[in-house]
């Protein structure tokens, strides 16, 4: 399904993210101050019940595919909702699934009702882990520089809202939703009925996680049959998390996990790159996924009639000054008079060249779409 297509975070998105997160956090804080906490959490519980069931089902699907034997009667289904009729018919929902997916949904629903009725910490963590895994899978960074911008911005965000105000702690304690993992501190005394918890927000898992996933892709791109940067960043995450827990217990105060995770997850791989002499390769690595219209594109026009070219970086609508050809580089679907969907598909995830017809009777214009590193 198209909804499962990964979203790639650009440097512009990364710079905006801490501001958007701050507005959302403070908005939730005001909601809890103005409205009844009971009704807000009831609404959020139903909302996250639906999301949690879908996320856990998606996470379980690969495991179920291995468990079920090949002889299992796996029938295909399609859920289709349309609006209008005839030529004006428009798809609203088009969801394809099979019997294995239904089994996953059934198991996930049992966990969901357990969480909805009991708010048990195990059910909370199952949903939380599912959200985290789906987040790392569906969110990608386009390069290491973008990851540094994102982590650096959220480093400041986390420190400010934890040490500078009581907003983060208040929302975390009031917000009864599986957006955090909870660890029972009295597990040995009370068993599964533990009630005293330490918390780790999902953002402290997903944000470093997508950066570590980018470094794994960088490892693969080097074609050296090693995972040096992945393992170094993963070990750095464990070290940073351990340091967070140590400081929290030492000072008996809530700690912003990114205060320790960001320097570790960025510093360790950069140090490895310095030792291996691959800093340039690391910061020039570019990863693409998803729709072309979500990425910065540099457009080079080579007019076949005049033999000249013009460079237009980061233009949403560009015009060749020689043949007045307009190109909607960010338009989806692309204008049919410029290039076909077949040609467009060849450009997904990489630079490429294709011919586009001009309105003038001159020869075709050669267009080169090249991904660039920053916006």
Choice among 3-12, 28-37, 93-102, 141-150 with the minimum mean pLDDT: 3-12
Q: Does residue 261 lie within any of the structural domains? A: yes
Answer whether residue 307 shows pLDDT above 80.
no
Answer whether residue 155 shows pLDDT above 90.
yes
Tell me, yes or no, if 293 is annotated catalytic: no
Q: Does residue 151 lie within any of the structural domains? A: yes
Choice among 292-296, 349-353, 364-368 with the minimum mean pLDDT: 349-353
Contact call for residues 7 and 140 (beta carbons, < 8 A): yes
- The dihedrals phi and psi of 370, each to the nearest 5 degrees, come to -120, 125
- The dihedrals phi and psi of 319, each to the nearest 5 degrees, come to -130, 125
pLDDT band at 323 (very low <50, low <70, confident <90, very high): very low
Q: Does residue 68 lie within any of the structural domains? A: no
pLDDT band at 20 (very low <50, low <70, confident <90, very high): very high
Choice among 204-213, 223-232, 316-325 with the minimum mean pLDDT: 316-325
pLDDT, mean of residues 84-113: 85
**Helix (H/G/I), strand (E/B), else coil: 240:** helix
Which has the higher per-residue pLDDT, 71 or 215? 215
Answer whether residue 300 shows pLDDT above 50.
no
CA atoms within 13 A on the CB side of 352: 15
Q: Out of 186, 204, 359, 375, pick the active-site residue.
A: 204
Both structure tokens of 98: 């099979």
Number of structural domains in the chain: 1
Q: Does residue 213 lie within any of the structural domains? A: yes
Distance CA 102, CA 100 (A): 5
The per-residue b/e assignment along 42-52, b for 16 or more CB within 10 angstroms, e otherwise, is eebbeebbebb
Q: Residue 4: its pLDDT value, please? A: 58
Q: Does residue 340 lie within any of the structural domains? A: no
Contact call for residues 335 and 317 (beta carbons, < 8 A): no
pLDDT band at 17 (very low <50, low <70, confident <90, very high): very high
Q: Does residue 133 lie within any of the structural domains? A: yes
Q: Residue 5: its pLDDT value, please? A: 60
Q: What percent of the chain shows pLDDT beyond 70?
A: 75
Per-residue pLDDT reduced to its tens digit, 276-290: 998 988 988 877 554
Answer whether residue 193 shows pLDDT above 80.
no
Q: Residue 320: its pLDDT value, please? A: 34
Answer whether residue 78 shows pLDDT above 70.
yes
Q: Which domain holds residue 224?
A: 8-35+119-303
pLDDT band at 246 (very low <50, low <70, confident <90, very high): very high
Answer whether residue 358 shows pLDDT above 70.
no
Q: Does residue 152 lie within any of the structural domains? A: yes
Q: Residue 206: its pLDDT value, please? A: 94
Q: Does residue 91 lie within any of the structural domains? A: no
Tell me, yes or no, if 158 is annotated catalytic: yes
Q: Out of 13, 158, 359, 375, pick the active-site residue.
A: 158
């Amino acid at each position: 399904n198209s909804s499962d297509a990964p979203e790639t975070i650009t440097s512009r998105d990364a710079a905006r993210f801490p501001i958007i997160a701050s507005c959302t956090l403070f908005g939730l804080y005001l909601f809890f101050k103005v409205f009844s906490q009971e009704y807000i959490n009831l609404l959020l519980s139903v909302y996250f019940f639906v999301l949690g069931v879908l996320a856990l089902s998606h996470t379980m699907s690969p495991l179920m595919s291995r468990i079920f034997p090949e002889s299992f009667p796996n029938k295909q289904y399609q859920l289709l909702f349309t609006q209008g009729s005839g030529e004006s018919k428009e798809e609203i929902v088009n969801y394809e699934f099979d019997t294995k997916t239904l089994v996953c949904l059934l198991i996930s629903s049992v966990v969901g009702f357990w969480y909805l009725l009991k708010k048990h910490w195990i059910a909370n963590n199952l949903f939380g882990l599912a959200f985290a895994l789906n987040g790392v899978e569906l969110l990608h960074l386009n390069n290491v520089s973008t990851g540094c911008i994102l982590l650096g911005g959220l480093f400041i965000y986390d420190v400010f809202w934890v040490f500078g105000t009581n907003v983060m702690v208040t929302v975390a304690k009031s917000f009864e939703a599986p957006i955090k993992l909870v660890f029972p501190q009295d597990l040995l005394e009370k068993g599964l009925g533990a009630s005293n918890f330490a918390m780790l927000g999902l953002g402290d898992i997903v944000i470093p996680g997508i950066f570590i996933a980018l470094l794994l892709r960088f490892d693969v791109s080097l074609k050296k049959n090693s995972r040096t940067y992945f393992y170094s960043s993963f070990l750095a995450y464990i070290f940073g998390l351990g340091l967070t827990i140590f400081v929290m217990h030492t000072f008996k105060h809530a700690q912003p996990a990114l205060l320790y995770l960001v320097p570790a997850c960025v510093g360790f791989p950069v140090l490895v790159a310095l030792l291996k002499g691959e800093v340039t390769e690391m910061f020039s690595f570019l990863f693409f996924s998803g729709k072309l219209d979500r990425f910065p594109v540099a457009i080079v026009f080579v007019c076949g009639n005049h033999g000249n070219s013009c460079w237009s970086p980061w233009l949403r609508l560009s015009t060749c000054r020689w043949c007045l050809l307009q190109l909607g580089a960010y338009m989806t679907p692309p204008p049919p008079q410029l290039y076909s969907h077949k040609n467009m598909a060849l450009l997904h995830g990489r630079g490429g060249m294709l011919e586009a017809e001009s309105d003038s009777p001159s020869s075709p214009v050669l267009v080169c779409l090249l991904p660039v590193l920053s916006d």
